[in-house]
Structure 1
């Protein structure tokens, strides 16, 4: 957390937080920053810029040295909180914070050159951020609307709510193929990267053990071999991929995917309940998210494909930031290297928002009514205070 030179590179701190952090009152993230720097002899353009994800939050002008700094005497802090240093407290806007963030502290230590014929000092200026600086996410509640494949692709949510994956079960076919085992290990590696902790308590299960997985979020991995398991949840699935066949095809196999349309498509056009089917030449891979049937608030994310080779293509997609940025909704189709995302099925909520937060969130949607109620409350309070004062005055007069 130390830099030197007049224009050093920024101090970068990576921050990974859960995707379901919810700021119901619009409050920011409190940052208490403590730092030291080589103070300039005169006021100049030296400044400290605080950025989050390359977006400026606030900039502080660095004060010049004072007369007390020239006494040649100082006290080294050992176990005390003393010492000469600067501190700044600010709130990082909550809408700037995502699952994966980088906090950048950029010191711009301007040259102390005061005349045209005076050279710049050869000793480089220095700056440092004290390690007891804090950033506090504890004031946020956990609340999110699911399914959302963007949460999964960027941070492994909802599985990474617990760093050791203690509430996660990975469901593999009875006889998994090498590509399916590779997919499982790759996804566990991704989640360890997101949480910074190994998946020590994840549970590996087979479809026949589904009844033993109560209270777990499920990551279902499999190509065509996972079809018997997904068939149990046909009513909850947003997408059903049929087996490839040559029916009606002249040049190659036809891939059939059936969509259960319950809500609306990505373009916002409302459609009646029903289904749709697409036919396409070649193989197809899909990433799906939905609520586990019979378990309220528990999630299922399924990695499936028309054949085993397409699972590798699905893993490669998660390695490419431009493809990950296209993932959203509850269904993502990978066809020929292109990603199509959409929202098809019903949504559900995970987490909890306090009752007063729900009340306030609904109240601010009606500002006029809120103002009228505030005026009435003030009037009633004034009438009550006036009545109490009148009774007190009457008792003093002996009436």
Structure 2
């Protein structure tokens, strides 16, 4: 399958993933076989599946919906072009122009140059250049409003850049503003705040009698008024930067009681989180220790740093199997769900392609375990990549005890009938600020283990460290390579951060700094003394 055709399929899967969001999406691949379900079929004038071999040629990128010729109640979305470049154009046109498409068929006349995405500007990530208001995070009207005694909590989904540098920070600041219907002074009602179902803080709701009538009169819950608004500034702890976090604001209204058994609801209870409440991460730098497969598995980082994936390169085997391509499509669909944006600038190449421009690229390698390095030019950059990958995999197999530099290595020769896969992360040998993540399968069916690891929550939580070995029994994660850091923090913060785990070094640096300051002061005082003595002699 041509690399450009795979790029088109990956772009489409990322767009579908963005539409599916938390629901998830899977993209099994069939080659020249009629699907039994709703499906997407890629066609060029020179490459048509047998079940659509009579489909007419086209002279421009085309998108069409038809009934499956073998299963009349199933639909096919056809992505058609003169060549594979047209397929990419058709998919890009669908992703960015679908709201303008009507009818059964659409052709793409032209696509204006789409701007490159900036780092950390994914639509589903909190912006880092200013405070983000709650009304920018809602999915539907009245999402910030709660009504009645047994109301469900107000929910907001929040995803942050996973490399936010939060060292020595109390948390991420939130300015929370809320309104509620005033109540009797005999009642105590509360607003509880939870993050990922864990209690964080709570506040007593207003019960000022002077506000009660005014609230009923002007309906402050839907009006632009501050009649019963309260503001609380606090720090938000318990956030997991690697995952999508759920903020819950739970209004708990008190009730009136008569006697010991009967409960009479007060009626008309409303609470609302004001849309001008905000979360502010603009004061945080970006700096993270890698490799960390946990942030890759849960947030697609570092590839999702740029939502359009324009700094991501994927390397596949020369003849990738349907299972390997399915894994790639499922991953790009996952990236789309994380960022909310199609990865239409993803670049794909095969291991034998001569591409020396690996600088300024984060690279994902999806290959079989038997991919031979010997078949590639020893001086080729791809050879260097694959050798590093094999080294990390060996370290993973030997639980980090393998050392390629030692003169004697323990070698184990065996034949196993089971499936096995490895996810490994390491620093790019071409750019110290870039990362490599490899996904290697021992057999075609082992690619399904990798899929399962990303879709089963129990397995997903076990993917961490620099290498994860996956079998049918589960996931084992280990540290198989050295830690490196990417990102930026000020120099003085960088020094204190890296010395914080070395108290003796920190003490030595502190003493050295004091001695240096003392020496400078001594020299200044000495100069002043000489000056006064010289003036006295005159």
Matched, 1:210 2:346: no
Q: Is the CA contact (8 Å cut-off) linking 2:308 and 2:346 kept in structure 1? A: yes
Q: Is the CA contact (8 Å cut-off) linking 1:13 and 1:103 kept in structure 2? A: yes
**Residue 9 of structure 1 aligns with which residue?**
152
Structure 2 unaligned regions, length at least 5: 1-143, 377-381, 525-538
Cα deviation code 1:247-273 (max 9, x no counterpart): xxxxxxxxxxx3389xx957xx99896
**Residue 341 of structure 1 aligns with which residue?**
477
**Residue 264 of structure 2 aligns with which residue?**
120
SS at match of 1:183: helix
Structure 1 unaligned regions, length at least 5: 242-257, 385-399
Alpha carbons of 1:45 and 1:324: their partners in 2 closer, same or farther (altered >3 Å)? same
Q: Which runs of structure 2 are paired with 1:31-180 in the superposition (5 Å)? A: 31-70=174-213, 74=218, 82-93=226-237, 97-113=241-257, 120-121=264-265, 123-180=267-324
1:232 aligned residue (356, 378, 384): 384
Alpha carbons of 1:80 and 1:99: their partners in 2 closer, same or farther (altered >3 Å)? same
**Residue 90 of structure 2 aligns with which residue?**
none
**Residue 308 of structure 1 aligns with which residue?**
444
Counterparts of 1:357 and 1:240 in 2: how far apart (Å)? 31
SS at match of 1:60: strand
Counterparts of 2:489 and 2:211 in 1: how far apart (Å)? 51
Q: Is the CA contact (8 Å cut-off) linking 2:191 and 2:250 kept in structure 1? A: yes
SS at match of 2:286: strand
Count of paired positions: 360
Counterparts of 2:513 and 2:392 in 1: how far apart (Å)? 51
Q: Is the CA contact (8 Å cut-off) linking 1:23 and 1:94 kept in structure 2? A: no
Matched, 1:222 2:383: no
**Residue 80 of structure 2 aligns with which residue?**
none
Counterparts of 1:82 and 1:345 in 2: how far apart (Å)? 56
1:285 aligned residue (421, 425, 436): 421
SS at match of 1:160: helix
Q: Is the CA contact (8 Å cut-off) linking 2:173 and 2:279 kept in structure 1? A: yes
Cα deviation code 1:195-254 (max 9, x no counterpart): 12221221122231431343110111122464437753355336466xxxxxxxxxxxxx
SS at match of 1:281: coil
Counterparts of 2:339 and 2:361 in 1: how far apart (Å)? 18
Q: Is the CA contact (8 Å cut-off) linking 1:183 and 1:315 kept in structure 2? A: yes
Q: Please list every run of at least 4 consecutive aligned residues from structure 1 whose deviation after the TM superposition is greater than 6 angstroms.
A: 75-81, 269-272, 367-374
Alpha carbons of 1:277 and 1:161: their partners in 2 closer, same or farther (altered >3 Å)? farther
Q: Is the CA contact (8 Å cut-off) linking 1:237 and 1:260 kept in structure 2? A: no
Q: Is the CA contact (8 Å cut-off) linking 2:396 and 2:467 kept in structure 1? A: no
Matched, 1:28 2:171: yes
Displacement of 1:49 in angstroms is: 1.1
SS at match of 2:395: strand
Displacement of 1:342 in angstroms is: 0.9
Counterparts of 2:188 and 2:510 in 1: how far apart (Å)? 46
Displacement of 1:122 in angstroms is: 6.2
Q: Is the CA contact (8 Å cut-off) linking 1:284 and 1:306 kept in structure 2? A: yes
Q: Give the structure-1-normalised TM-score.
A: 0.78
Counterparts of 1:368 and 1:62 in 2: how far apart (Å)? 52
Counterparts of 2:471 and 2:499 in 1: how far apart (Å)? 45
Q: Structure 1 or 2: larger strand share? A: 1
Q: Give the structure-2-normalised TM-score.
A: 0.59
Alpha carbons of 1:52 and 1:270: their partners in 2 closer, same or farther (altered >3 Å)? farther
**Residue 252 of structure 1 aligns with which residue?**
none
Displacement of 1:293 in angstroms is: 1.5
**Residue 329 of structure 1 aligns with which residue?**
465
SS at match of 1:6: coil
Displacement of 1:82 in angstroms is: 4.7
Alpha carbons of 1:219 and 1:12: their partners in 2 closer, same or farther (altered >3 Å)? same
Structure 1, 35-44 or 223-232: larger mean CA deviation: 223-232
Alpha carbons of 1:335 and 1:169: their partners in 2 closer, same or farther (altered >3 Å)? same
Q: Is the CA contact (8 Å cut-off) linking 2:190 and 2:202 kept in structure 1? A: yes
